[in-house]
Amino acid sequence: MDQAERLRNIIKQQNTRQHLAQVITVTSGKGGVGKSNVSVNLAIQLSRLGKKVIVLDADFGLANIEVMLGLRPKYNLADMMFHGKTVKDIIAKGPENIGFISGGSGLREMTNLTRDQIQSLVLSMYELDQVADVVIIDTGAGISDSVIDLVMCSAQVLLVATPEPTSITDAYALLKTIQRQENFDPERMKIQMIGNRTQGYEDGKELFHKLSTVSDKFLQVEMEYLGSIPDDAKLQSAIMRQEPVTIAYPNSPAARAMMELALQLENGNVQGDPVPSKGLSGLLARMFRGKHS
């Protein structure tokens, strides 16, 4: 029995469990557009709406989210994979009851796992599905293999972009890379754009129009507009304080916009998401199925 078949059998055995977390992958075409800020603050606002939220920092090798939260987790994902720790061991407690998992040594290393390690990881991720309502995955920026792997295995993707021409160009490059993947299926992936550092509602809509027009015409990749976050000086002040803006300045324009986005995500999930989702364990299963088949 090969690794892919063995993994499918594990998943089939575990699919009797009813609770699966909503997995939201947050990405961007370039760095510096506020992607990690969006991930952290959305997590906090969703937690305030009564959701059990865990943030997975998949920007491997960096510690942006740790800095934003002012946390120094004792363990990370690599400790679970290679040092015998469990999922519960590596979940650090963050503000507003959110959970946080530091990425550790990198996704490339995990593509070379043995059969037993694959089984252990998948079973551990099913455990995470049972303790979270929402898992937010903060990817690295750009179009590296690790970013594309995560995005391609995701059913719900939030693409963060700013009105800067370079951000729009790089966001389009990301969409183009996704569209060119052999296993890209637009029916199985919902892509929603968030405009960041906008000058108002119309600015955000214009940004979405620019990006969606070219993606529709040249890539046949459809996006939805989730909303925008205004350019807010309080956001930079919160970063300097190593606090999320939703905690440091909960009534600021940026914090209020984050709550609107959280409500949009919650309402969309309540109404029924047409995109099939198998939780975080399903995401990893699809990734390893492609890598080890």
CA angle 175, 293, 190 (to 5 degrees): 30
With left for phi above 0 and alpha for psi between -120 and 50, is residue 9 left, alpha or beta? alpha
When comparing pLDDT for 252 and 283, which is higher?
A: 252
Quick one: average pLDDT of 4-15?
Answer: 56
Residue 127 has pLDDT above 70, yes or no: yes
227 DSSP 8-state letter: E
**Residue 129 corresponds to which tokens in the numbers above?**
């599905």
Query: 7-21, 22-36, 41-55, 163-177: which has the minimum mean pLDDT?
Result: 7-21
SS3 161: strand
Return the closest-CA partner of residue 154 out of 45, 262, 58, 31. 58
- What is the per-residue pLDDT across 36-75, written as a single tens digit (0 to 9) for each? 999 999 999 999 999 999 998 887 667 678 888 888 888 8
Residue 106 has pLDDT above 70, yes or no: no
Quick one: average pLDDT of 179-186?
Answer: 87
Strand 190-198: give its sheet, edge to edge.
Answer: 92-93, 99-101, 53-58, 134-139, 22-28, 156-161, 190-198, 224-230
Quick one: average pLDDT of 22-39?
Answer: 91
pLDDT of residue 120: 64
Question: Is 171 within 8 Å of 159 (Cβ atoms)?
Answer: yes
pLDDT of residue 174: 95
pLDDT of residue 5: 60
Query: 35-39, 122-126, 193-197, 256-260: which has the minimum mean pLDDT?
Result: 122-126
pLDDT of residue 19: 60
Residue 270 has pLDDT above 70, yes or no: no
Residue whose token pair is 């300097």: 240
Quick one: average pLDDT of 95-106?
Answer: 84
Residue 266 has pLDDT above 80, yes or no: yes
CA 93/CA 100 separation, integer angstroms: 6
SS3 248: helix
pLDDT grade for 272, boundaries at 50, 70 and 90: very low
Residue 101 has pLDDT above 60, yes or no: yes
Question: Is 102 within 8 Å of 66 (Cβ atoms)?
Answer: yes
CB atoms within 10 A of CB 48: 16
